[in-house]
């Protein structure tokens, strides 16, 4: 099975591109591919460094004798412990794939933490990728048992809202309460696909920021009324 570049013209039925970070075990790669049967695959592997081989050899080990792997695949070597550089390299490839019309699934199960974090952040930045990780049974704290891997989809909306809440927290640290309220979505705007805890979190932020915004502009009586009203609910 030859390695091929992902440079074809996008099909109208949106072929699926599976993007996986590769570590030292082939089992998660096989399970992830079997779960979605992609048309193409992009393996994010670690670079060779200081005479030590990268994780690229695991790709062939994963593909050998495994049904369901796509014939068209590519390997992208990134630094194992440089998340900024890995992010830049991965983001470029994801943007290209989306521009070509692919349905992109980013599975950040394997590889180093830097590689996984870089793929997740790059997928979230594009706004057009589905996120996935593999979970399974553990008998110890080292790794998931082979054959027990199960794909878990991560709602992209959770990543997007999480980034918004980071901005809210940053404005709050600067005591810019009006700015924090301006970027905070309403409770009704929280996607229905997210757990109810996200709506409660947004509601708590809004109540607290509303109180602090009034207090900060010396409307102490108004702030106190909001606190009392909240205690009566």
Tens-place pLDDT, residues 153-204: 777 777 778 878 889 999 999 999 999 999 999 999 888 877 888 899 999 9
Q: How confident is the model at residue 176, as a pLDDT?
A: 94
Residue 113 is part of which domain span? Answer: 16-154
Q: How confident is the model at residue 119, as a pLDDT?
A: 92
Q: Is residue 179 domain-shared with residue 210, that is, in the same domain? A: yes
Looking at the structure of the chain, the number of domains it has is: 2
Q: Is residue 58 domain-shared with residue 127, that is, in the same domain? A: yes
Q: Is residue 145 domain-shared with residue 175, that is, in the same domain? A: no
Question: Does the pLDDT at position 67 exceed 80?
Answer: no
Question: Does the pLDDT at position 7 exceed 60?
Answer: no
Q: How confident is the model at residue 149, as a pLDDT?
A: 62
Q: Is residue 167 domain-shared with residue 128, that is, in the same domain? A: no
Sign of CA dihedral 58, 64, 69, 74: positive
- Of residues 12 and 212, more confidently modeled: 212
| Global confidence as pTM | 0.66
């Amino acid at each position: 099975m030859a390695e091929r570049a992902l440079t074809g013209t996008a099909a109208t039925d949106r072929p699926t591109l599976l993007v996986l970070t590769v570590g030292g075990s082939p089992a998660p790669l096989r399970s992830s591919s079997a779960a979605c049967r992609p048309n193409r695959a992009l393996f994010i592997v670690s670079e060779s460094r200081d005479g030590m081989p990268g994780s690229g050899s695991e790709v062939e080990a994963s593909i050998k004798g495994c049904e369901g792997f796509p014939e068209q695949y590519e390997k992208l070597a990134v630094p194992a412990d440089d998340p900024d550089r890995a992010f830049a390299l991965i983001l470029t490839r994801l943007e290209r794939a989306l521009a070509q019309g692919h349905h992109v699934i980013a599975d950040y199960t394997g590889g180093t933490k830097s590689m996984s974090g870089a793929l997740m952040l790059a997928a979230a930045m594009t706004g057009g990728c589905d996120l996935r990780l593999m979970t399974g049974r553990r008998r110890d704290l080292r790794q998931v048992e082979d054959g027990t891997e199960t794909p878990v989809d991560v709602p992209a909306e959770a990543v997007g809202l999480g980034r918004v809440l980071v901005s809210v927290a940053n404005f709050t640290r600067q005591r810019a309460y009006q700015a924090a309220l301006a970027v905070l979505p309403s409770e009704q705007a929280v996607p229905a696909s997210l757990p109810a805890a996200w709506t409660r979190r947004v509601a708590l932020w809004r109540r607290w920021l509303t109180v602090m915004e009034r207090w900060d502009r010396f409307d102490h009586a108004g702030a106190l009324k909001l606190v009392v009203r909240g205690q009566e609910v």
